[in-house]
Structure 1
């Protein structure tokens, strides 16, 4: 009897377990698939499109539209202000806790993340959409490429050293737009004497003086080859006289009072607004300023804006008809993303960097590294002017796109010190030391 009971209980228990298993499977299915049978996935997405400029609004609208069109993909989105974005991203990178998708920069950031096994290539996505891949301008993937692997597709083009100027203020003071460094220093002197801020600068985050001014100014003095050799310790050093002269030129601007009071406490957006309000005669800034200007400046103010390249320097070895710049940021993908999540991540990437997105970004007054015909009726006059400028000059490297993070930080901090009265020689030594530690 005991034996029979045991058998019966075993059969009942097995049947019970089978039913329970079926119930569990159904519950799991309900949680992981849509009504159409597609597997639901959740992706974390970090970006720095948090502002009120047209590009940021465009990118956010693309993300929102993607969510509506893809009920099977849930995006956990974090919008982080631009000035603090890199720091936040580097913090999670150090802890190996990367979001699934995130805005990242070409060049050194891509190299460092790849070396840390934090990201994975997107060759599969690009190869599956060859027409899209072939639509990018030559060199667009260079900063995102290591060996044969490509880690992102750029969503913008970022010249960093455009010299914006206020036509009215120059005309009212009988000045020509500076073409030489002597012209620049003369203009600074005249505007200062009229109590007009010569150059608007917001260097609170430390990178603007490096990215927008020094990268191009130093190239005028040293030439591109020297910088690349110094960055790789290939026979040139940041303690060389030519680079110290570059720092001296920037110090001369600071000593002459070229920038508004408290420039090291103002952010880049505040500096752009200051210029747009007609409070400064010039601004040395990147292409990203155009989308901010389009959102905040009046039509009358924009009509007074012109754009050109930075002036040449005496005896400089670099080509003065250039702009420092890089292809813009793109979405990177965490190395931990696999399976259905990876398929979903590819869909997000294409939605934010595909042909339709590139066209919308261009029309938000943001330059792109993609073959798109510009409809000038949909952008501001100053954007159209910069668009022509960018297509008629060569591009030179941006310091923080080539140097290691530690060396770039040393440059950034050193320039803040320089503009507050620091010694070019001392700062050059600190930069060289940081490069040698790489």
Structure 2
């Protein structure tokens, strides 16, 4: 793999930035009064080790310090853990503000005194922390406790690296991109939501004939095209294609990739995304869906709360992004993955490591995620569990049920060692919406790699 050698100092800077970035998780938006926070619901099979009553103190550093529902629910769980394990004292050093969090973590890394439990968003640069021992390998712990580890969805790749063995974090946030649709509009044209790309194209033609935009796409926000191509690559070429492009075993101007660009270009010319999609943004796109002007809406799990609060809440359904009928093996490949995750310090030993691991299990167990979902009144999490329809909304239940057999891959360029690839791919796709031909788009993207790897 053509990986550039990153110095440790640069790795720390890059990784800290990644640790503090906003995650695509399941956080809520409504403030909660912490003066009377409820006790955590349910029990967990994971608790502090019973072999010793030794007094031990550990520290945690996350960004879950606000009065938002996700942060309140997490702190509830930590408090319950302390109540059940009086020999363990937890010092919560968490800071919500990104810059302050980054500064505090960077200082801890530089001093060699990282809190026993800390937050990360993973990624390639985080691998430097794995190699340097800042984060501990948790693979043996996950293997030893199947009750804890088996319910997790397969979203650990952000915390696993080719050049160092092990798993270095456990996810607590999650995202995946699906296809939302207006049930009434589908009834109007007498069709079911599409399972395949071919069905997507067929219903799109029917919607066009009825004067309805099939799937508005606010490509003024370039990440919309980025999400679209990620889904098409996953469904047409499979999960491995992402890695082959990053490892330079494949090229963006290969015929199979040019075909993907041609599909997007063809759909745009046919009007599947609406009129001049590069001139309006994601907010306008959602407004079209909520007003019944667009029949389908590609978006992530973070959109579920907005959908349930929209004027068409009772009309919104959700299905996986369609797959190609000649590639059925790829139908369960989703664009998605872990958001935030928790690590244990590589320097934590003995009773401190045992306590940190027990807290990690307690805050990432099935019971914990059920409690988080209850407090937030929804949310999609990185775990297989049955959502209680008496506690959360219908769409959350439907969305969660789709994920149990899925395989997840992030956007194709997120695996690339070249940091400019995210902007390059997205901007070139936007250019295609403005008239650039698919072959030129593919060539321009590949040239970014070629000029930086000579």
TM-score range, shorter chain: 0.5 to 0.7
After superposition, where does 1:345-424 map in structure 2 within 5 Å?
Answer: 349-350=360-361, 352-363=363-374, 364-392=377-405, 395=408, 398-404=411-417, 406=419, 407-424=421-438
SS in 1 for 2:434: coil
**CA gap 1:431/1:275 in 2 versus in 1, 3 angstroms:** same
State which of 325, 339, 342 in structure 2 corresponds to 1:329.
339
Question: Is there any run of 5+ residues in structure 2 with no aligned partner, and where?
Answer: 1-54, 83-88
SS in 1 for 2:175: strand
Question: Is there any run of 5+ residues in structure 1 with no aligned partner, and where?
Answer: 1-37, 51-55
State which of 249, 266, 286 in structure 1 corresponds to 2:281.
266
SS in 2 for 1:59: helix
After superposition, where does 1:43-62 map in structure 2 within 5 Å?
Answer: 45-46=62-63, 57-62=68-73
CA distance in 1, matches of 2:406, 2:143: 33
Structure 1 residue 304, shift from structure 2 partner: 1.8
Deviations, residues 191-239 of structure 1 (Å, cap 9, x unaligned): 345553322434565334323x2122123333444443233122x2211
Instruction: Say if 1:191 and 1:198, in contact at 8 Å, map to a contact too.
Output: yes
Structure 1 residue 104, shift from structure 2 partner: 0.6
Match of 1:307 in 2: 318
Structure 1 residue 265, shift from structure 2 partner: 5.6
TM-score, length of structure 2 as denominator length: 0.65
Instruction: Say if 2:73 and 2:372, in contact at 8 Å, map to a contact too.
Output: no
Structure 1 residue 155 corresponds to structure 2 residue 181:
no
State which of 45, 49, 73 in structure 1 corresponds to 2:91.
73
CA distance in 1, matches of 2:174, 2:439: 34
CA distance in 2, matches of 1:309, 1:63: 29
Deviations, residues 378-415 of structure 1 (Å, cap 9, x unaligned): 33323333333323555566424533362333222322
CA distance in 2, matches of 1:389, 1:64: 29
Task: Give the structure with higher Rg (CA).
Answer: 1
State which of 207, 214, 222 in structure 1 corresponds to 2:229.
214
State which of 282, 301, 310 in structure 2 corresponds to 1:287.
301
Instruction: Say if 1:157 and 1:369, in contact at 8 Å, map to a contact too.
Output: yes
**CA gap 1:345/1:372 in 2 versus in 1, 3 angstroms:** same
CA distance in 2, matches of 1:265, 1:206: 11
The structure with the greater share of residues assigned to helix is: 1
**CA gap 1:347/1:210 in 2 versus in 1, 3 angstroms:** farther
After superposition, where does 1:223-242 map in structure 2 within 5 Å?
Answer: 223-234=238-249, 236-242=250-256
CA distance in 2, matches of 1:396, 1:128: 23
CA distance in 2, matches of 1:128, 1:175: 46
Match of 1:3 in 2: none
CA distance in 1, matches of 2:144, 2:267: 49
**CA gap 1:128/1:248 in 2 versus in 1, 3 angstroms:** closer
CA distance in 2, matches of 1:138, 1:389: 12
Structure 1 residue 281, shift from structure 2 partner: 0.6
Structure 1 residue 282, shift from structure 2 partner: 0.2
After superposition, where does 1:90-239 map in structure 2 within 5 Å?
Answer: 101-105=118-122, 107-108=123-124, 110-111=126-127, 114=130, 120-121=135-136, 123=138, 126=141, 130=145, 133-137=148-152, 139-146=154-161, 147-160=164-177, 162-192=178-208, 194-203=210-219, 206-211=222-227, 213-234=228-249, 236-239=250-253
TM-score, length of structure 1 as denominator length: 0.67
Instruction: Count residues with an aligned counterpart.
Output: 377
